[in-house]
Homo-oligomer: A and B are copies of this chain.
Amino acid sequence: LPLHYRMHFAVLVFASVATMTTFGLDNGLMRTPPMGWLAWERYRCDIDCKNDPKNCISENLFIDMADRLFEDGWKELGYVYVNIDDCWSSMERDKDGRLQPDPNRFPGGIQRLARYMHDRGLKLGIYGDMGTHTCGGYPGTTLDKIEIDAQTFADWEVDMFKFDGCYSNAVEQELGYPLMSKALNATGRPIGYSCSWPAYQGGLPPKVNYTQLGQICNLWRNYGDIQDSWNSVLSIVDWFFENQDVLATAAGPGRWNDPDMLVIGDFGLSMEQSRSQMALWAIMAAPLFMSNDLRTISSGAQSILQNKMIISINQDPLGIQGRRILKEKVGIEVFWRPLSNNASALVFFSRRTDMPYRYKTSLSKLNYTTGSYKFTDVYTGKTDVLKDSTEFVVSVNPTGVVMWYVSAPGKLKYHPFIRGGKLHGPAYDAEENTFPQVFL
Contact = CB atoms under 8 A, between A and B. Distances in A.
Interface in A11-42: 41-42
A270 to B, nearest CB: 5
A232 interface: yes
Contacts of A273: 268, 270
Contacts of A229: 230, 353, 398-399
Contacts of A41: 354
B268 A353 contact: yes
Interface in A205-257: 227-232
A44 B355 CA distance: 8
A417 to B, nearest CB: 37
Given A228-B354, A353-B232, A354-B227, A267 B400 contact: yes
A272 B263 CA distance: 14
A355 B261 CA distance: 14
Contacts of A380: none
User: What's the number of copies of this chain in the assembled complex?
Assistant: 2
Interface in A264-292: 266-273
B44 A267 contact: no
A266 B354 CA distance: 9
A398 B269 CA distance: 11
A397 interface: yes
Tell me whether chain A's interface is mostly helix, strand or loop, or mixed.
Answer: loop
Interface residues of A, number: 33
A358 interface: yes
Contact of A228 (B267, B298, B353, B358): B353
Contacts of A231: 231
B267 A398 contact: yes
Contacts of A228: 353-355, 398-399
Pick from A46, A228, A269, A353 the residue with the most CB of B within 10 Å: A353
A227 B270 contact: no
A52 interface: yes
Contacts of A43: 355
Contacts of A44: 354-355
Nearest to A397: B267
B267 A399 contact: yes
Contacts of A399: 228-229, 267-268
Interface string A383-412: 000000000010001111000000000000
Contact of A270 (B270, B358, B400): B270
B268 A398 contact: yes
Contacts of A269: 270
A51 B358 contact: yes
Contacts of A52: 358
Pick from A46, A267, A397 the residue with the most CB of B within 10 Å: A267
Nearest to A352: B228
Nearest to A291: B355
Contacts of A393: 51
Contacts of A51: 358, 393
A227 B354 CA distance: 6
Contacts of A46: 355
Interface string A353-390: 11110100000000000000000000000000000000
17 contacts: A44-B355, A46-B355, A51-B393, A55-B356, A228-B353, A228-B398, A229-B399, A230-B230, A266-B398, A267-B270, A267-B272, A267-B399, A268-B272, A268-B273, A268-B398, A268-B399, A270-B273
Interface of A: 41-44, 46, 51-52, 55, 227-232, 266-273, 298, 353-356, 358, 393, 397-400
